[in-house]
Amino acid sequence: MLIDRKKLVSRHNPLIYRVEPLSPLSVGNGEFAFTADFTGLQTFPNEYDVPLGTQSEWGWHYTDSQTKYRLEDIKQKTFSFHNRNVAYPLYSEDSEDAYHWLRQNPHRLQLGQISFRLLKENYKQVEIHDITAIKQQLNLWEGVLLSEFTVENQPVFVTTVCHPTRDQVAVKVISPLITNERLQIMIRFPAPTMNSKIWEESIHLNWQDNNAHKTIIKEKNTNALKLYRIMDEDNYFVSWQWSAGVIRTVNEHEYWLTPTNETEELTFSVSFSKEGRNPYSFDEILAESKHYWFTFWNSGAAIDFSKSSDERANELERRVILSQFLTAIHCSGSSPPQETGYMYNSWFGKFHLEMHWWHGAHFPLWGRGHLLKKSLQWYKRILPIAKELATSQGYKGARWPKMVGIDGRQSPSPIAPVLIWQQPHLLSLLELLYQENPSKDIVEKWRGIVIETANFMASFSVWDAKKHAFILGPPLIPAQECHKPESSFNPPYELEYWKYGLTIAKKWLERLNEPVPAKWEEIIKNIASPPQHNGVYLAHEGCLDTFTSYNHDHPSMVGALGILPGSLIDKKIMKQTLQKVRNEWQWESAWGWDFPMCAMTAARLGEPELAIEFLLMNATKNTYLPNGHNYQSPSLTAYLPGNGGLLTAVAMMARGWEGAITEHAPGFPQNGEWVIQAEGLHPLR
């Protein structure tokens, strides 16, 4: 029986009746998003705990110039790597200006703020306490945001929508305030400058440094305004069109539109672009949005928990539906997403490649691999830079950076340069795409990337004559980032991932009837066993105080079986490890993706009740807000790796994995309380 997808999706439309400071709602398309307050625009940003963002895939900025500093301007930390020295840009030391500039640049731009300017009967400006009768709903099925509120008994109805393939937002406003000129639209532009060395202190918009940017009127007529934005060497256009109104320039960076309609309706649309594209009309954008989201929801997979009697089922279904929408608008662009998507800047707007798997692995599992393919193209663009990085450190192949901007160059950081678990991600993601739609074309297309990725992994692996095995590190920092690089080696998750990744690379060459490098084969057969002590796996070899001093941050050792097939793992030991993690971990220190990671481990171990417990654990960083975002902290209210991880875990639990006892819901309890209706899902292999 087919799932009624419209009914499934629509019953989880976010609906609010008050200001939700942590949960503004967004419309977007994977390359661009616009986040609004309860008015449907960005009218009361100070009432929200995070910026109301307008961001795009292409919207990046370098302070001063692209070449102001290079990594060579930083004194790098040198570690001994098995009888040779390798340098990493870890600490600022005596290069503080260069260090922090490189961390902050390039940074993603806030492209502009679109707001109402509302007036009372006495023509004083409306303040938040003057607003009543708030009602706002995000129509997920159509990608349309519907907002209602009242000013002094005068209703305002707002429809906000985003074009599905262009960086354009369109709005319709219906209100009696229009006819007596008590409703205006305002666009203003913040400065791009980063003002803090700590990203949490720099997420808010900068309205102070007016001289750090320019806004120039390029065209102006009765129904349109085209602006040209300049910030150092970077620039873009903002094109604004409206149905009827008069424009006023308040200052260089602020413009007001006063409708002149004799009717109570105003429509307008705004385009942000590098090329100066004019926007489509409101009606055109609305029609395109409805068509796009109708196609989105009716293709790919769906899962329905409505017949389940477990009291947690509806909340899980809500998280699943909202996570599909959020990852589609924030994580399906032409480069890897930042962890807050297009809402606001986290880590200066840069993306973290060790999170790319969490953002995107679910897409092929849900039959939407085409949404992942777009961002994988970026790796081809930066392949020469990744090869240059590997060569500079004495390795072969391509070393993918961790914290990185659109330019592909690694950022200095006390952690990022010595992480390694982002390296096999690309192989895993490519294999998921292949499993969704096996073809020789995809293998041929990605052959070079696969080889260069595997060559670095092989080069990083070192033969230890005493162990008679290949080992990893030191230096490295595991996925659990609280360890010291100089003393960390052989973390279980990374060992398993190294074997898994090289096994994938081997399969790809075999699919092309090409010879497999001998060292790949040797590492696959002889990589070190994951370290254990007293019947549980450790964070890394020698870390005997894993569950006393290091029982916080990510319990990444469990990822060796769950996310991965666990070919090196003893299931009895992993079951004991997972129980110890459950009982002794400091869960308030964990992150959003840790909960689905543990759920996947529990599922593979035949513990479905425990999988559900992890997936829906009552912990701060496993909170899913009314807008569907995975809350972590006051400065990180949106954390998309949590949403993506949830979708991956649910797909795996519902459709299974290689070696699962059944293809139908092997990761859900078989107690009659969970009734899983699913279609279109792919197994996690």
Q: Is 356 helix (H, G, I), strand (E, B) or coil?
A: helix
What is the pLDDT, as a whole number, of residue 204? Answer: 83
Residue 452: CB partners within 8 Å, gap ≥ 6?
383, 386, 387, 397, 398
- Partners of 61 in the beta sheet? 107
Q: Which amino acid is at 28?
A: G
Whole-number average pLDDT of the chain: 96
Q: Which amino acid is at 685?
A: R
What is the pLDDT, as a whole number, of residue 203? Answer: 79
What is the pLDDT, as a whole number, of residue 501? Answer: 98
Q: Is 482 helix (H, G, I), strand (E, B) or coil?
A: coil
651-664 pLDDT, tens per residue? 999 999 988 878 89
Q: What are phi and psi of 177, to 5 degrees?
A: -60, -25
% residues pLDDT > 90 (the chain) = 94
Q: Is 190 helix (H, G, I), strand (E, B) or coil?
A: coil
Cβ atoms of 27 and 160 within 8 Å: the answer is: yes
225's tokens: 């305004």
Sign of CA dihedral 656, 660, 665, 668: negative
Average pLDDT of the segment spanning 291-305: 98
**E-strand stretches of 43-112:** 54-56, 60-61, 77-80, 85-88, 107-108
Count of all residues that appear for the chain in the document: 685
What is the pLDDT, as a whole number, of residue 564? Answer: 97
- Partners of 654 in the beta sheet? none
Q: Is 0.85 surpassed by the pTM of this model?
A: yes
Q: What are phi and psi of 210, to 5 degrees?
A: -65, -25
% residues pLDDT > 70 (the chain) = 99
What is the pLDDT, as a whole number, of residue 444? Answer: 97
**221 has a pLDDT exceeding 70:** yes
Indicate the pLDDT class of residue 194, thresholds 50, 70 and 90. confident
Average pLDDT of the segment spanning 553-564: 97
d(CA 457, CA 459): 5
Indicate the pLDDT class of residue 83, thresholds 50, 70 and 90. confident
332-368 pLDDT, tens per residue? 999 999 999 999 999 999 999 999 999 999 999 999 9
- The residue with tokens 């995070």 is 50
435-483 pLDDT, tens per residue? 999 999 999 999 999 999 999 999 999 999 999 999 999 999 999 999 9
d(CA 340, CA 349): 8
Burial class (CB in 10 A: 0-12, 13-18, 19+), 18: exposed
What is the pLDDT, as a whole number, of residue 201? Answer: 67
d(CA 351, CA 523): 30
What is the pLDDT, as a whole number, of residue 451? Answer: 98
482-526 pLDDT, tens per residue? 999 999 999 999 999 999 999 999 999 999 999 999 999 999 999
Residue 301: CB partners within 8 Å, gap ≥ 6?
365, 366, 367, 368, 651, 678, 679, 680, 681, 682
Phi-psi region at 170: left, alpha or beta (left = phi > 0; alpha = psi -120 to 50): beta
264's tokens: 């109570």
d(CA 646, CA 574): 21
Q: What is the DSSP letter of 124?
A: P
Residue 44: CB partners within 8 Å, gap ≥ 6?
19, 37, 38, 128
What is the pLDDT, as a whole number, of residue 45? Answer: 96
**1 has a pLDDT exceeding 60:** no
Q: Which residue, among 477, 318, 446, has the nearest Cα to 377 in the 3D structure?
A: 446
